[in-house]
Amino acid sequence: MKKQRILNVLGQVDEEYIQEAAPGERQARKKNPRWVKWAAAAACLCLIVAGMIGAIDGVRQRVPQEERPSPGISQGFRLKDAEDRVLYSPIAVGDATRYRLLTDNASIYRPTEQDLGAFMGTVGSSEDTSLVGCSVYHLARYPASDAICVLERDGQYSIYVAEEEPAKLAYDEILALLEIVPTDDPRFPNYPETYGGAYFEGEKLHLCLTDVSEETTNAYAAMVSDPDVLEYELVEHPYNDLYNATMLIARNSGASFSSIAVDVRGNAVVVGLPFSPDDEAFATAQQQIDDALAGSGDIPVIYTEEGQASPD
């Protein structure tokens, strides 16, 4: 993330301080020897230079302290036991802009204890060994994003962001800007009705949308740093409806099943049953699930045979 800061120092002279000298004073100046004039000019030049230095120093002092790396926390880290071993680096101005973490005076927001979300883990490795073992948390305002986090060290809090592949970064950016809550939050799922899910394929993020109009796709493209990694697919059912269907099946069907999940690519719910399709129990479970979904819309359900039933 690169940044440029352009500082302009403008010197202005207020007209009210420009006064015409009285004739008598003009006559008096004529009598002054030439060296007096040069001395006066030199004194004025010194005052101008001093004023410019003072103005520049004033601007230098006004550069927000938050923009400057804090001693000892300039190194990145990786989480202990994390599968992807993503490198987290201190947040820069570009990241702060993307996550809307700039304050009114354009400095990076400094987190407090109130900004700590769910616990993510501890630092497993870092060039700064003092970071190893420190606790890492989700940033509370982006609870579903693993791309941004808060590190706690000795009661001090610092924001870090992940260095990710473009497609994964785009996915985290979308989740962050949509402010999607974690799955254990009662408000989940809180996706837009146009969102049907997303999956990675190659270097692309495939967005499954119920509306692929230019207006909608442009809205999603505006959420990410690199819109070229996005591919759009038209689907019928919003992700919210698919997820809610899995909850209805789990809570109300009474059927024995091995697994249940949302199939994003198929835009359907997938249920694994611990019976052979030839067994009568397989058909009974299907009927129980269909009854549980009655009145919830035409949600497609794909049944597969799996070996172990869910606990009662």
> Is the link from the previous residue into 69 a cis peptide, with omega within 30 of 0?
no
Residue type, 247: M
Q: What is the pLDDT of residue 217?
A: 97
* Averaged confidence pLDDT in the chain: 77
Q: Are 161 and 173 in contact (CB under 8 A)?
A: no
Highest mean pLDDT among 76-85, 182-191, 215-224, 302-311: 215-224
Give yes or no for residue 286 having a pLDDT over 60. yes
Q: Are 73 and 128 in contact (CB under 8 A)?
A: yes
Residue 138 gets the label, from left (phi > 0), alpha (psi -120 to 50) or beta, of beta
Taking residues 44-63, what's their average pLDDT?
37
Return the sign of the alpha-carbon dihedral for residues 66, 70, 75, 79: negative
Residue with more model confidence, 152 or 74: 152
Residue with more model confidence, 86 or 234: 234
Which CATH fold would you assign to the domain 239-305? GMP Synthetase; Chain A, domain 3 (3.30.300)
Q: Are 248 and 292 in contact (CB under 8 A)?
A: yes
Report strand pairing: 301-305 vs 268-273.
parallel
Q: Which helix (H) or strand (E) holds 99?
A: none
Beta bridge partners, 152, equal: 135, 157
Q: DSSP class of residue 92? A: -
Give yes or no for residue 208 having a pLDDT over 90. yes
Q: Where in the chain is the domain with CATH 3.30.300.50?
A: 239-305
The stretches of 136-213 forming alpha helices (DSSP H) are: 166-178
